[in-house]
Amino acid sequence: MHLMKKMACVAVLLALAGCQSAAHKSANVDDEDRCGAADYQQYVGKPLSAISDLRFEQPVRAIPYNSAVTMDFNLNRLNFLGDKQDKITRVYCG
């Protein structure tokens, strides 16, 4: 009888551990797109100037190729990264 209680406790702990890691993983997905970068992926391949007429509620940074930028990480900031031809290659938070 004592062995059955131990096995039941182990089973409950394993089940709870599985739930906890799944909840933690979904929280990270929300953090990765806190700035709404997913809404601007259609700008990849367009010139950096394509975003000049847009209005944003969050901080935004257009990063031309090979330019110096601060290394501070801000999950609320939307970044548009440009290449040598001044085309947007990546839109991300940070």
- List per-residue pLDDT tens for the chain, 94 residues long: 555 555 554 454 455 555 544 444 444 556 679 999 999 999 999 999 999 999 999 999 999 999 999 989 999 999 999 999 999 999 999 9
pTM of the model: 0.67
Residue 17 confidence (pLDDT): 53
Distance CA 70, CA 85 (A): 22
**CB-based contacts of 49, cutoff 8 Å, min separation 6:** 86
- The tokens describing 34, both together, are 């806190």
Distance CA 89, CA 72 (A): 21
One-letter identity of residue 86? D
For the domain spanning 35-94, the CATH number is: 3.30.10.10
